[in-house]
Amino acid sequence: MRNARALIIGGGIGGLTAALALQQKGIAVSVYEAVAKLGEVGAGVTITPNSCHVLNHLLGEDVVASICHVPVSGAIKHYLTGETLIDTRRGDGPKLQYGANYCQVHRADLHETLAAAVRANDPDCLHVAHRFVGLEETATGITASFANGATASGDVLLGCDGIRSAVRRQLWGDEEIKFTGFVAFRGLVPTDRLAPEFLEPDSAAFAGRGHTFTRYKVRHGELYNFVAFTRRDEWAAEGWSEPGELDEMLAEFHDFAPEVQAIMRAVPPDQLYKWGLFDRPPLDRWTKGRATLLGDAAHPMTPFLAQGAAMAIEDGLIMARALEAADDWQEALERYEAARYERGTFVMCESHVNAERIYKRDPDKIDRKTHRNAESLGLYDYNPVTVEI
């Protein structure tokens, strides 16, 4: 269905991946983003082999290598002693086993790279300051309307607008967005602020009692990205990137190893954020008429399998492949949902299971037999470039 026009609501990583994939299939696409300036806040993103296949396919391996850091060494450590419990050394192992790297990237770098590639194909593709407010479907197409009075029409509409998706609300009505009880402090630390003994291994997760601290390198080792997870009874803030307070974080993780304390104390004040994790119930289906959902709008992920960005990236390419393969829009959306619903919902649910497993575990009894992650679930074996749709 190469003569189709797709409307994408949401200019995040999932929306831009879908846009670039559609462009490369020769399908016309326009992206509409609510904010006035396209961009992402500073944070790290893990790109596992299943999603790295997509980025290599769309951007080229050289471009991906230029923005991503491949961790040579890694470990799961005891929160109190800093002792290595599990060696998670990767290096070129994932590429040899799965055909693509396990790597980490600054979210803004990935977002900017995708946006630049989309603009290179069509300078007029991206539209900012367009807050989606409604849609109308006819026998010949679908029209989106925006708060600024603009409208846009196409053959299909893809809601890529995150966990608080306005497209999802338009299709399925109001739903409860539930606080999960998890809060994350996250920040970026210049590595030159840290003593050499705190720079190895490349990535590490410190397993505590009801707390976890994860840190890894981005921008080829210039920065450390860290995320520190804990529990809260409630969360009132609407944003996902509230400014964080250093004293609060230090008090919460006061008994963690000296390495963790050093990284926390080195974070610049304007690079510390606090993030409440929210959830929505699984949908029975993602598609209604000519509209469907991608990424967190369809299957909001908690970060406990490091698959949120990966699933959105997978969705984007599969959507483009489905439109290319189909004779009409109905077939395209059916192919897309048939290929993605089971996997997306499974990973969404398993991320919650892993969260509870992590926060109930005894750090004194962790070993490779009890450790569970996306790889042990077989998620890395999936290649969106070649999987049947």
Active site residues: 216
Two tokens, residue 47: 């790109």
Two tokens, residue 336: 């897309």
Nearest to 348 by CA among 317, 371, 314: 314
Q: Kind and range of the H or E element at 132?
A: strand 132-137
The contacts of residue 121 (CB under 8 Å, 6+ apart) are: 20, 23, 24
The contacts of residue 232 (CB under 8 Å, 6+ apart) are: 181, 182, 183, 276
Where on the phi/psi map is residue 39: left (φ > 0), alpha (ψ -120 to 50), or beta?
Answer: left
Rounded-to-integer distance, Cα 309 and Cα 9, Å: 17
What are the two backbone dihedrals, phi and then psi, of residue 148, each rounded to the nearest 5 degrees? -85, 5
**Which residue(s) pair with 158 in the sheet?**
8, 292
Q: Which amino acid is at 122?
A: D
Look at residue 373 and give its three-state secondary structure.
Answer: coil
26-294-9 Cα angle (round to 5)? 70
Nearest to 297 by CA among 168, 134, 111: 168
Beta carbons of 347 and 301 less than 8 angstroms apart: yes
Beta carbons of 88 and 138 less than 8 angstroms apart: no
What are the two backbone dihedrals, phi and then psi, of residue 19, each rounded to the nearest 5 degrees? -60, -45
Evaluate the CA torsion angle 194, 197, 198, 202 in order and state its sign. positive
Strand order across the beta sheet in which 151-154 lies: 132-137, 142-146, 151-154
Two tokens, residue 261: 């304390």
